[in-house]
Amino acid sequence: MKSAVGISSIGVHVPEMYISVEELARLRQVDPAKYVTGLGCNKIALCSSKDDIAELALEAAKRALSRWDGNISDIGLLAVGTESGLDMSRPLSAWIAEKLNLQGNVRSYEVKHACYGGTLATRQAVEWKLAGMGKNKVALIIAADISLYAEGDPGEPTEGAGAIALIIGEPRIAQIDPMSFPYSKPVFDFWRPIGQQFPSVQGGLSLECYIEAVKSCFADLTAGRNLEQVLNQFNAMCFHTPFAKMVKKAFFALCHEHGWDDALIEKIYQQKIDPTMEWNRETGNSYTASLWMAVARALCGLAIGERVAAFSYGSGCGAELLTLQAGPDALQGAWREDILRDLASRREINAEDYKKLRARV
Ligand code: COA
């Protein structure tokens, strides 16, 4: 019988600056309520000029490794999910491997599928372990992104940044169930052609595809059973979070399809979904890291066997619903200290500094 596979260690990193969406609204002469209430945004994490995507990803990896009792030579797979890569050919993982002095019999690569890349890398690591390929080895998976739109773009309040690293091996923190529920459909809802600095977005289409994907993945999970009974199994439900309102709209659309009334949907949303986005509210959209920030938050403090659902979405589009079960190290939630430390030391910038920062990008 195959032994269970899952998350052995987590490292989280948030960059050193942020701007509040109220301050951005002042700059763009927009009613701040649009960003705060209309979209559910709070803060936008920003990188300084010395912090690039490789540094962000590396720091998350170092933190995951620092809390793990293995050796660098135990890593047999290194994959980075990102849409902020530094090169069309050289994988971002090569920058990380260089700094970690990781080479030899290691599969090292980058995964790109918009915000879904981190989940794909994680699933590949789980399947690599389950297939027996990574017998006595672990995988180091990193999801890291810097999300910026053209200045004044409607997507600007949803900007953000962050990185999360997962060591996939023994399920000390959480078991990732072998079965998952994917969905894909070729569309242009959000894309960035080669040479184009900032993304193009069809916001309405993106929301439509996200909702369609949520409905399809949850239909596969429930497989004809009662949705409420199925969702009751989960202590928390995490979603890819471009902005909180998108998650809320999708959850309402899913439950309306099953005939739920708004009061019940709101109750479940407040109990099981809204609290998982605590760290997303501090980072803004960190693309590939976004879902895993929510999962990392949700796992903190869970008892062994308590369950989490995780819905990943990437434009283009591809989605996958994963289910996890907390392991013995979830209760302590040691990785929470990463984010608390970063948030305590980061600096708030004003609109004028933001303008200067954007002029340098
Ligand atoms: N006070 C309170 N709410 C307000 C408001 C105000 N003064 N002004 C507007 N709003 C609300 C709107 O009613 C709307 O809420 P609703 O959707 O519940 O009706 C919300 O704010 C957004 O307004 P809208 O006019 O639709 O925003 P927009 O056209 O400027 O688009 C985004 C903004 C972020 C929705 C859009 O750019 C987008 O979808 N971007 C990216 C999506 C994405 O990241 N996709 C890829 C990954 S999944």
Please give the pLDDT value at position 3: 85
Is the Cα torsion angle 56, 60, 66, 68 positive or negative in sign?
negative
**Residue partners of 139: CB distance under 8 A and separation at least 6:** 75, 76, 77, 78, 79, 125, 128, 129, 167, 168, 169
Same domain, 275 and 167: no
| CA pair distance 124, 131, nearest whole angstrom | 10
Give the model confidence (pLDDT) of 187-233 as tens digits: 999 999 999 999 999 999 999 999 999 999 999 999 999 999 999 99
Same domain, 312 and 215: yes
Residue 1 lies in a domain: no
Please give the pLDDT value at position 19: 98
Residue 275 lies in a domain: yes
| CA pair distance 285, 357, nearest whole angstrom | 18
Query: What CATH number is attached to the domain comprising 119?
Result: 3.40.47.10
Q: Is 210 in the pocket of ligand 1 (CB under 6 A)?
A: yes
- Index of the ligand 1 atom closest to the CA of residue 285: 44
Give the model confidence (pLDDT) of 347-360 as tens digits: 999 999 999 999 98
User: How large is the average pLDDT for residues 295-307?
Assistant: 98
Give the model confidence (pLDDT) of 31-73 as tens digits: 999 999 999 999 999 999 778 999 999 999 999 999 999 999 9
**Ligand 1 pocket test: which of 22, 34, 249 has the largest number of ligand atoms within 8 Å of its C-beta?**
34
Same domain, 255 and 272: yes
Give the model confidence (pLDDT) of 228-250 as tens digits: 999 999 999 999 999 999 999 99
Same domain, 254 and 231: yes
Closest protein CA for atom 38 of ligand 1: 203
Give the Å distance between the CA of 149 and the centre of ligand 1: 15
Same domain, 169 and 185: no
Closest protein CA for atom 45 of ligand 1: 206
Cβ-count burial 272-281 (b if 16+ within 10 Å, e if not): bbbebbebbb
Same domain, 221 and 136: no
Residue 315 lies in a domain: yes
> In the structure, what pLDDT confidence band is assigned to residue 361 with cuts at 50, 70 and 90?
confident
On average, the pLDDT of the chain sits at 97
Same domain, 57 and 166: yes
- Index of the ligand 1 atom closest to the CA of residue 33: 1
Give the Å distance between the CA of 206 and the centre of ligand 1: 12
* Total domain count, the chain: 2
**Residue partners of 358: CB distance under 8 A and separation at least 6:** 148, 151
Residue 283 lies in a domain: yes
Please give the pLDDT value at position 135: 87
Same domain, 189 and 113: no
Please give the pLDDT value at position 2: 66
Give the Å distance between the CA of 39 and the centre of ligand 1: 5
- Whole-prediction pTM value? 0.98
Q: Is 31 in the pocket of ligand 1 (CB under 6 A)?
A: yes
Residue 36 lies in a domain: yes
Please give the pLDDT value at position 359: 93
Give the model confidence (pLDDT) of 113-140 as tens digits: 999 999 999 999 999 999 999 989 999 9
Q: What is the residue range of 100's domain?
A: 6-174+335-359
Give the Å distance between the CA of 323 and the centre of ligand 1: 30
Same domain, 85 and 133: yes
Same domain, 345 and 309: no
Q: Is 115 in the pocket of ligand 1 (CB under 6 A)?
A: yes
With 70 as the cut, is the pLDDT of residue 1 above it?
Answer: no
Same domain, 58 and 89: yes
**Ligand 1 pocket test: which of 22, 29, 35, 39 has the largest number of ligand atoms within 8 Å of its C-beta?**
39
User: How large is the average pLDDT for residues 135-153?
Assistant: 97
Give the model confidence (pLDDT) of 315-349 as tens digits: 999 999 999 999 999 999 999 999 999 999 999 99
- Index of the ligand 1 atom closest to the CA of residue 287: 47
Same domain, 15 and 138: yes
Please give the pLDDT value at position 62: 98
